[in-house]
Chains A and B, each alone.
Chain A
Amino acid sequence: MPTAYAFYLTTILVYGAVDSMACLALNYEFGFAGVSNFGFIIFQAAGAYAAAILSMPRAATANGGFQQYVLGWNLPWPLPWIGAAIVGGVVALPFVFLVGKRLRGDFAAVGLLVSAVLLNELVKDYVPFLNGAAGVSIVPAPFQSKWDPQGLGYQFAYGGVAIVLTIAVYYLLRRVTESPYGRSLRAMRDNDIVADSLGKNLRKQRAGVLVLGGALAALSGAILVGFISLWAPGAWGYAETIVLFAAIIVGGAGNHKGAILGAILVPLAFEEITRFIPPVANPTLIPALQWVAIGLLIILFLWFRPNGILPERRRLLSTGPALNTVEVVPDDGDSDALIKLGNVDQLNFRELLHLDNTVNDNRVILSTTGLSKSFNGVTVVSDVSIEIHQGKLTGMIGPNGAGKSTTLAMLAGTLRGSSGTIFYDGEDITSMPSFKRAQAGLVRTFQLASEFKKLTVLENLVSAIPKQSGDSFTGSLRGKRFWGSEDKANIERAEEVLEGFGLSQYADTYAGGLSGGQRRLVEIMRALLAEPKVLLLDEPMAGVHPNLAHKIGDQLTKMCESGMTILMVEHELSIMDAFCDPVIVLAEGMVLATGTMAELRKRPEVVEAYLVG
């Protein structure tokens, strides 16, 4: 019997490695980048099929041609595995259109789920492609002409190779996720619209994530098929993806070790434990109960332990004496009043914001002509033509529903205008996507809280810094030696800003745990670190204590003196009085007037629109 146990052990090793690799890949997509790939099993299946048909002989000659399939290239190991990984990456590409920027995460997920169902049905029904529902069988094991695949030594060696590859995948993914690129992925996960507004190319990031995740999933499938030597549609029903999601939820999303733990606890243990249950009268009872258990596991974990057994680690970046223990700041309403902007007066904004070459020349830097927007036939912004002058702190006021935020969103590219043109620095940017506008220096903030919740305050700030050499997939692969010193300088720059705004002690606190006023500050600081030439602020003072609001206003004025341009939407008239010149008044989607606050107060139509409307 000991040999039987030894063979069983090798099976466990291979399955454990395959499940772990798959969970690592899915966790990279879902836990780190927020791409809910409900069609994940497609990629594992594609890898298994690819490895199978690349290693099998031509269908007509093999075993009397009892099965039909394409290719049949009879390639020696490791080419089928490499080919499988490539196929997995290529299969990901058509799905990029689903996870592109404009689709809600859950809608995209449903699309992927449906794709998994569809592809499974097609493969099942169209026999000549991959032998239909029966699937491909007698897939050659690597080196089977030299060694006996049924030998114990071979099986242990196979398990060993599978484990070594899984460990390699672990280190590869860790290298990627713990880089500035990984930080951008997590920022996208926490709030994709905001990441976009800070210059992150969501489509490219998500495509990269799907391709790498797909390639790794495919590799796991290739390893599996080489061991079990058959692969059929029954093995990759869409619900298999749910098992892997359950594993990640149990283990801990956003934690590589958690993914491995989940793989061992859920797919592996669930399969194996049921082997030891004595047979019962109803043959579907045990598998049915297995599915019930998976479902319950998902629901109960998401309720009682949503971050899993091994939650995501907090990344402590600060070099100073940050209070690492601060997890959550109580939002008691008064805490804002206590915020003292630090040594902000000593901050050299010209240097900090890389405005060194900017000359305050009062030219028109941002303008619109005939900008309009309608939703469902309702016009929200109508024929707005404005000019924003360089170095000015321009205000924008108007009653609720006047179209202020919509105008700002169109300037930043968050929304596409229905008609009209936008010029920025002499260039027509009407159809430029928002992340490119941000990269060109046109950066916005949001009216609603928009911090990256599960990034620390310092990470929030650093993530916005443009042109980081580690902020690309290839950059991240080159490792810390490549991007480390630059990242250190970036962190120090962010810390300097943080200190200036008096929030150093929260450097390593999750931004989601700050009070309302503090979060506004984080957002402003983050926008500044994106190095804007023109900063678009959407009600930055909303919910901020008046004392603090005026301190922030002073700093905004100083930034404009240093060469930056600001357009600020704000309700608080005292802020407009104190800091903004000129001020644009919008009412019912149209520009009502433009001028200094003193001039505007004399105009009856403005007073009426603002007070009555």
Chain B
Amino acid sequence: MSSFGFGLITAAVLAIATVGFTMQFAVTNVLNLAYGSVMINSAYVTYYLNIHHVTAWVALIGGVITGAVASWCLNRFIFTPFQRRNLAPITIVIVALGVDLVGTFGLQAIVGSSYVAFHQSAGNEYHFLGMILNGLQLIILAVCAAVLGLIHWLLKYTRLGKAMRATSANPNLARNSGVKTQFIISTTWLISGALCGLAGTVFAMNTGVFEATSAQLYIVLLLAAMFLGGPGEPYGAMLGALIIGLSTEISAAYINPQYKEVIAFVVLLGMLAFRPYGIFGSEKTL
């Protein structure tokens, strides 16, 4: 049962990250493979605020803002100009990979390659339902649940959320129906970027120690969760993250933990091969 607790934490962080990633894909049709580099840069901003005597939970806001601003800039100054040239989606993906290299290794060039950790205690341990969670993990769970609830409220009950969903379903139709799609896309990148920054920071907190390239492989879990739930589907992303997070951690209890990510890889390749539009999606949504 203790692995279930770990799985829940992994899933919660992954859900935040995947929802942001999938929202970017939904409104701009970009597989933003630079997502991991924005995550880790945000984590580092939080870290620097933290070692300059800002409490981690306050410093977190710095990370969230970093993620939001960086993602907005990425879309505004890189992806949008390239997309205006009507390039194939693959070209944009290659550009994103280039951005990822610049973001990750630019950070490494500045901060070096030694591991760092936040200045905060993990808090007391709590036992319930057979799970052992510490205070930090409980807070992470609470924050993630609150943010996911907020996203649900945004998408379901606000004009902005409806406009986002309309833009994602059919940008041309949305524009012709009076939706300011450019504004919606920008806002989506701000919000999804904030999620990215939050996810990066809590990912780093949960990992304990981290360095500039720590998030590089995280993109695989992200992609697995996204394709499981269907690309561009925020609710699918939450479900996908839950399944991937739990299955990787629970499987780690039974097989060699070194192979625990294999299940995510296998899920991703299987989804790509047989149902690239997700378990519940249909082919028209692509």
Which A residues fall within an 8 A CB radius of B? 36, 97-98, 102-111, 114-115, 117-118, 121-122, 125, 239, 242, 245-246, 249, 282-285, 287-292, 294-299, 302-303, 306, 375-376
Within 8 A of A (CB), among B78-104: 78, 81-82, 87-95, 97-102, 104
* CB neighbours of B59 from chain A (8 A): none
Partner of B105, one of A121, A246, A289: A289
Q: What's the nearest-Cβ distance from chain B to residue A306, in Å? A: 8
A107-B88 CB under 8 A given contacts A242-B97, A376-B285: no
Q: Are A289 and B91 in contact (CB under 8 A)?
A: no
Q: Residue on B with the closest CB to A239?
A: B101
A245-B102 CB under 8 A given contacts A97-B273, A375-B283: no
Within 8 A of A (CB), among B233-257: 256
Q: Are B268 and A114 in contact (CB under 8 A)?
A: yes
Instruction: In the complex, identify which listed stretch (B64-72, B107-115, B149-157) lies at the interface while the others stay far away.
Output: B107-115
Instruction: In the complex, identify which listed stretch (B159-167, B181-189, B197-205, B259-267) lies at the interface while the others stay far away.
Output: B259-267
Q: Residue on A with the closest CB to B112?
A: A282
Give CA–CA (A239, B216) in the complex, Å.
Answer: 10
Listed by A's residue number, 5 A-B pairs whose Cβ atoms lie within 8 Å are A115-B269, A285-B109, A291-B101, A291-B104, A298-B98
B31 at the interface (CB under 8 A from A): yes
Give CA–CA (A98, B271) in the complex, Å.
Answer: 10
Partner of B93, one of A109, A114, A285, A288: A109
The 5 closest A-B CB pairs, nearest first, are A295-B101, A298-B98, A375-B284, A291-B105, A295-B102
Q: Residue on B with the closest CB to A374?
A: B282
Q: What's the nearest-Cβ distance from chain A to residue B137, in Å? A: 26
Q: Are B273 and A242 in contact (CB under 8 A)?
A: no
A105-B269 CB under 8 A given contacts A125-B256, A296-B102: no
Which of B78, B81, B87, B268 is packed against the most chain A CB atoms within 10 Å? B268
Q: What's the nearest-Cβ distance from chain A to residue B209, in Å? A: 16
Q: Are A111 and B102 in contact (CB under 8 A)?
A: no
Q: Are B94 and A245 in contact (CB under 8 A)?
A: yes
Q: Residue on A with the closest CB to B105?
A: A291
Partner of B95, one of A110, A114, A282, A302: A302
B11 at the interface (CB under 8 A from A): no
Give CA–CA (A365, B167) in the complex, Å.
Answer: 43
Q: Are A104 and B95 in contact (CB under 8 A)?
A: no
Partner of A104, one of B81, B98, B286: B286
Q: Residue on B with the closest CB to A249?
A: B94
Give CA–CA (A125, B285) in the complex, Å.
Answer: 38
Partner of A295, one of B99, B217, B285, B286: B99
* CB neighbours of B273 from chain A (8 A): 97-98, 103, 111
Q: Residue on A with the closest CB to B258?
A: A125
Give CA–CA (A298, B268) in the complex, Å.
Answer: 27
Beyond the given A118-B269, A290-B105, A291-B105, could you list 15 further A-B residue pairs with CB under 8 A, ordered by the A residue number? A98-B269, A107-B272, A107-B276, A115-B265, A118-B265, A245-B97, A284-B109, A284-B113, A289-B109, A292-B101, A294-B101, A295-B98, A295-B100, A302-B95, A376-B282
Q: Are B259 and A125 in contact (CB under 8 A)?
A: yes
Give CA–CA (A36, B97) in the complex, Å.
Answer: 13
* CB neighbours of A115 from chain B (8 A): 265, 269
Give CA–CA (A375, B286) in the complex, Å.
Answer: 11
Q: What's the nearest-Cβ distance from chain B to residue A397, in Å? A: 23
Give CA–CA (A36, B92) in the complex, Å.
Answer: 12
A104-B276 CB under 8 A given contacts A114-B265, A245-B94, A291-B101: yes
Which of A249, A292, A303, A306 is packed against the most chain B CB atoms within 10 Å? A292
Q: Are A36 and B109 in contact (CB under 8 A)?
A: no
Number of interface residues of B (CB under 8 A): 47
Q: Residue on B with the closest CB to A416?
A: B283
Partner of B262, one of A109, A118, A290: A118
Partner of A114, one of B108, B220, B258, B259: B220
B223 at the interface (CB under 8 A from A): yes
* CB neighbours of B276 from chain A (8 A): 102-104, 107
* CB neighbours of B94 from chain A (8 A): 36, 245, 249, 298, 302
Q: Are A106 and B105 in contact (CB under 8 A)?
A: no
* CB neighbours of A298 from chain B (8 A): 94-95, 97-98, 101
Partner of B109, one of A107, A108, A118, A292: A292
* CB neighbours of A375 from chain B (8 A): 282-284
Give CA–CA (A299, B92) in the complex, Å.
Answer: 10
Chain B interface, >50% SS class: helix
B106 at the interface (CB under 8 A from A): yes
Which B residues fall within an 8 A CB radius of A? 31, 33, 78, 81-82, 87-95, 97-102, 104-106, 108-109, 112-113, 212, 217, 220, 223, 256, 258-259, 261-262, 265, 268-269, 272-273, 276, 282-286
Q: Are A106 and B31 in contact (CB under 8 A)?
A: yes
* CB neighbours of A288 from chain B (8 A): 105-106, 108-109, 113, 212
* CB neighbours of B99 from chain A (8 A): 295, 299
Q: What's the nearest-Cβ distance from chain B to residue A346, in Å? A: 39
* CB neighbours of B93 from chain A (8 A): 36, 106, 109-110
Give CA–CA (A284, B111) in the complex, Å.
Answer: 10
Give CA–CA (A104, B90) in the complex, Å.
Answer: 9
* CB neighbours of B259 from chain A (8 A): 122, 125
Q: What's the nearest-Cβ distance from chain B to residue A116, in Å? A: 11
* CB neighbours of A282 from chain B (8 A): 112-113
Give CA–CA (A376, B268) in the complex, Å.
Answer: 22
Q: Are A376 and B284 in contact (CB under 8 A)?
A: yes
Q: What's the nearest-Cβ distance from chain A to residue B92, in Å? A: 8
Q: Are B108 and A104 in contact (CB under 8 A)?
A: no
Q: What's the nearest-Cβ distance from chain B to residue A42, in Å? A: 13
Give CA–CA (A285, B212) in the complex, Å.
Answer: 12
Q: Residue on B with the closest CB to A97?
A: B273
* CB neighbours of B112 from chain A (8 A): 282, 284-285
Which of B31, B90, B100, B106 is packed against the most chain A CB atoms within 10 Å? B90
Which of A103, A375, A376 is packed against the most chain B CB atoms within 10 Å? A376
Give CA–CA (A47, B283) in the complex, Å.
Answer: 37
Q: Are A114 and B98 in contact (CB under 8 A)?
A: no
Q: Are B106 and A292 in contact (CB under 8 A)?
A: yes
Give CA–CA (A118, B268) in the complex, Å.
Answer: 11
Which of B97, B108, B217, B286 is packed against the most chain A CB atoms within 10 Å? B97
Give CA–CA (A282, B33) in the complex, Å.
Answer: 28
* CB neighbours of B95 from chain A (8 A): 298-299, 302
* CB neighbours of B262 from chain A (8 A): 118, 121-122
A114-B283 CB under 8 A given contacts A284-B108, A288-B109: no
* CB neighbours of B91 from chain A (8 A): 302, 306
* CB neighbours of B101 from chain A (8 A): 239, 242, 291-292, 294-295, 298
Q: Residue on B with the closest CB to A36?
A: B90
* CB neighbours of A306 from chain B (8 A): 87, 91
* CB neighbours of B285 from chain A (8 A): 376
* CB neighbours of B256 from chain A (8 A): 125
Give CA–CA (A239, B219) in the complex, Å.
Answer: 13
Q: What's the nearest-Cβ distance from chain A to residue B80, in Å? A: 12
Give CA–CA (A8, B76) in the complex, Å.
Answer: 46
Q: Are A110 and B261 in contact (CB under 8 A)?
A: no
* CB neighbours of B212 from chain A (8 A): 288
Q: What's the nearest-Cβ distance from chain B to residue A428, in Å? A: 23
Give CA–CA (A115, B268) in the complex, Å.
Answer: 10
* CB neighbours of B272 from chain A (8 A): 98, 103, 107-108, 110-111
Q: Residue on B with the closest CB to A285?
A: B109
Give CA–CA (A115, B91) in the complex, Å.
Answer: 20
Q: Are A292 and B97 in contact (CB under 8 A)?
A: no
Give CA–CA (A246, B104) in the complex, Å.
Answer: 17
